[in-house]
Structure 1
Amino acid sequence: MVPPLALDIDGTLTTPSGRIDPRTFELLPDWDAPVVFATGKAFPYPVALAHFLGRAETVIAENGGVAHVDGETAVLGDPAVPRAVVEAYEARGGEIGWGNGDTVNRWRETEVALSLDADEALLREVAAAAESRVEVVDTGYAYHVKSPDVSKGKALERVAEALGLAGAEFVAVGDSENDASTFGVAGESYAVANADATARDAADVVLDEGFMDGTEAVLAELRERGG
């Protein structure tokens, strides 16, 4: 028996250049336990990945702002404050940084993502001055302005309960500070070698291999354990 998985996407199921690693399509379609894709990307991205893998669309998107399980979608984050913070940031001359045709935020429901080229210092200054609480998360791929009341970990607890499982039954793999909360819920957690300091500190194990190389090593070990 293999355990259920909670897998980040960027930096975890991808190549260093950001492409989905082909091994994802070899290793995950037949994984004989639930697989939750938990990402900072907008909702359509993990849904599409699950769909093309032929798996149930069991996903966590927007760093816990949206969760989907058994055909039910829950929008858990309030976008009002994040959007107001980004508007104030832009009013002070800041730029979101994606250029024309911003598909990064087009389908985003609960937060706003800014390019790593954005003025981080100004963004954090504006966020700190906001009347309501807001959090800026650096995933290594974007700055996410979100409610601090949502996280991948809280969403995983919700998804696990809907599946009739405990969060501690999951094995989690990730690479960024937004995965630390997932690591705190899962019974076993791994940070790939390219992970940031927050993820490394939160994980049970820091792998020697990065990106999909590390994830593949975890999956191989879990299969071996499961017999």
Structure 2
Amino acid sequence: MVPPLALDIDGTLTTPEHTIDPRTLSLLASWEAPVVLATGKAFPYPVALCHFAGVPERVIAENGGVAMADGDLTYAGDPERVDAAVEAFEARGGDLGWDGVDTVNRWRETEVAASRTADEALLRAVAEEFDLAFLDTGYAYHLTSADTSKGAALGGVAERVGYAPEDFVAVGDSENDASMFDVAGEAYAVANADETAKGAADHVLERGYVDGTLDALSRVRERAP
């Protein structure tokens, strides 16, 4: 049987134009073991992707701050501390950088995401002051609790679906995927991955984005008994 999967979304299941590749939906629907979507996005995004792919809603959102599998929803981190850090950041002239209605953070519950046009140095300084983790996913800057991660969340989700974290094959592209790579049994970084993800992965793929992910999962399927 094929192993369960832990898949990042942006840069991993998407095209270089940041859109969901149609092949992603058939990939998710046809995999014979549990698939967990692990993302830095807010909770509704991976839930919606599961819904439209017709697969069970097994997700890790907000870099591990929110996780759900088989009807069990859990939270991690200290959102009040994150809110206090954002207040300090904005009081010192910082701007999260989202114009108009901030849909990036509107449904976010445990962390905050800032545009990569935001003042990185100030945001990093505030993160350190409030003992928060600063993550640069290549798409946004995130302030999240230091003990929150995709890897930590995968441990709980794996247990709920009847597996150990080391049973999973993980695919991702950013530094927020490194913790997931550390606990998964096998990890692939797509070609467009940052250096942190590549360094934590067992394999670095020749192709990027969803093409690389499809290559990795083709290998995994071919060797399954």
What range is the shorter-chain TM-score in? over 0.9
The Cα shift of 1:129 comes to 2.3
State yes or no: 1:200 paired with 2:176.
no
The Cα shift of 1:83 comes to 1.3
User: CA deviation digits over 1:190-224, x for unaligned, max 9?
Assistant: 00000001000000001110000100001111121
User: CA deviation digits over 1:44-92, x for unaligned, max 9?
Assistant: 0000001111100000000000000111111112211111111111111
Is the 2:175–2:194 Cα contact (8 Å) retained in structure 1? Answer: yes
1-structure distance, mates of 2:221, 2:202: 19
1-structure distance, mates of 2:81, 2:192: 32
1-structure distance, mates of 2:31, 2:128: 43
User: CA deviation digits over 1:6-41, x for unaligned, max 9?
Assistant: 000000000011101111012220110000000000
Correspondence 1:103-122 to 2 at 5 A: 103-122=103-122
User: Secondary structure at the residue paired with 1:106?
Assistant: coil
Correspondence 1:68-217 to 2 at 5 A: 68-130=68-130, 133-217=131-215
One-letter amino acid of the counterpart of residue 124, structure 2? R
State yes or no: 1:10 paired with 2:10.
yes
The alignment yields a C-alpha RMSD, in angstroms, of: 0.8
Please list every run of at least 4 consecutive aligned residues from structure 1 whose deviation after the TM superposition is greater than 4 angstroms: none
One-letter amino acid of the counterpart of residue 29, structure 2? P
One-letter amino acid of the counterpart of residue 66, structure 1? V
What 5-or-longer segments of structure 1 have no aligned partner? Answer: none
2-structure distance, mates of 1:129, 1:30: 46
User: What TM-score results when the alignment is normalised by the length of structure 2?
Assistant: 0.98
2-structure distance, mates of 1:167, 1:146: 22
Is the 1:190–1:207 Cα contact (8 Å) retained in structure 2? Answer: yes
1-structure distance, mates of 2:175, 2:126: 21
Is the 1:66–1:77 Cα contact (8 Å) retained in structure 2? Answer: no
User: Secondary structure at the residue paired with 1:105?
Assistant: coil
One-letter amino acid of the counterpart of residue 145, structure 1? L
2-structure distance, mates of 1:125, 1:222: 42
User: CA deviation digits over 1:96-154, x for unaligned, max 9?
Assistant: 00111000000000000000010001111122223xx2111000000010001110000
What 5-or-longer segments of structure 2 have no aligned partner? Answer: none
The percentage of counterpart residues that share the same residue type is 66
Which residue number corresponds to residue 222 of structure 1?
220
User: Secondary structure at the residue paired with 2:207?
Assistant: coil
2-structure distance, mates of 1:46, 1:217: 22
